[in-house]
């Protein structure tokens, strides 16, 4: 199982971190050991003083595909949920300064909690509203109509380089409102008003 992540896929988030908006999808990956399921808590790692939450729509691949055409791309998605792309922002900034890869800042153990899965069929081809609450207050609210690269473009682009396999996940990028987590915080993730994810920081 592979976990793909897309960086800077909402212009308002690229702007809040003073990043340029990319001309093609920016891809990175997390290993299977990053995955957290069933609302298990997230234990704050000791190696970072500035872990950020990034609430994102996550897609699950339903069948294998390579060089997928945009017009058929949505047929390869079986399920959708919300997840958090936990990011050690202090380590990421150091990596960026040195021009080094991001793995230690993005792909560490338990950096990818995902919520309860919904059948993708009901959402296919529609604008999808999603959001993240921190301690009961909205911190992020997004709409897929604001995606820089649509799900179809992401699927086509990813499958040029990587065979997409059944069960692979795609974190599709975060809207504005990212911020630091603290021990004791709790996060709830929603799609179309439905709560799918709970994550307590311990």
Binding region for Zn ion (CB under 5 A):
54, 85, 174
Minimum CB distance to Zn ion smaller for 52 or for 152: 52
Shortest spacing between CB 9 and Zn ion, in angstroms: 8
What does the buried/exposed string (b/e) look like for 122-143 if buried means 16 or more CB atoms within 10 Å of the residue's CB?
ebeeeebebbbbbeeeebbebe
**Close Cβ partners of 195 (under 8 Å, ≥ 6 residues apart):** 188, 189
Minimum CB distance to Zn ion smaller for 65 or for 115: 115
Tokens of 81: 């949920």
Shortest spacing between CB 54 and Zn ion, in angstroms: 4
The burial of 20, by beta-carbon neighbours within 10 Å (0-12 exposed, 13-18 middle, 19 or more buried), is given as exposed
Shortest spacing between CB 39 and Zn ion, in angstroms: 20
> In this structure, what is the dihedral angle of CA atoms 75, 148, 93, 169, given to the nearest 10 degrees?
-10
Minimum CB distance to Zn ion smaller for 27 or for 118: 27
Minimum CB distance to Zn ion smaller for 65 or for 85: 85
Residue nearest to Zn ion (CB): 85
Minimum CB distance to Zn ion smaller for 26 or for 118: 26
Shortest spacing between CB 129 and Zn ion, in angstroms: 18
- Rounded to 5 degrees, φ, ψ at 129 are -95, 140
Shortest spacing between CB 178 and Zn ion, in angstroms: 8
Helices (H), 130-187: 151-161
């Amino acid at each position: 199982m592979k976990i793909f992540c897309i960086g800077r896929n909402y212009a308002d988030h690229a702007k809040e971190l003073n990043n340029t908006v990319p001309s093609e999808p920016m891809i990175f990956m997390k290993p299977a050991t990053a995955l957290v399921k069933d609302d298990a808590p997230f234990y704050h790692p000791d190696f970072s003083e500035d872990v950020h939450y990034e609430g994102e729509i996550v897609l699950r691949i339903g069948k294998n595909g390579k060089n997928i055409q945009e017009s058929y791309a949505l047929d390869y998605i079986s399920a959708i949920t919300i997840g958090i792309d936990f990011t050690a922002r202090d380590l990421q900034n150091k990596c960026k300064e040195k021009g080094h890869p991001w793995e230690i800042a993005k792909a560490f153990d338990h950096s990818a909690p995902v919520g309860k899965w919904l059948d993708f069929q009901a959402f296919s081809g529609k604008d999808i509203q999603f959001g993240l609450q921190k301690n009961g207050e909205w911190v992020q609210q997004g709409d897929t109509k604001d995606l820089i690269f649509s799900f179809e473009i992401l699927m086509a682009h990813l499958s040029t380089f990587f065979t997409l396999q059944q069960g692979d996940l795609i974190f599709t990028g975060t809207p504005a409102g990212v911020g630091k987590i603290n021990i004791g915080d709790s996060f709830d993730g929603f799609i179309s008003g439905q709560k799918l994810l709970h994550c307590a920081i311990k």
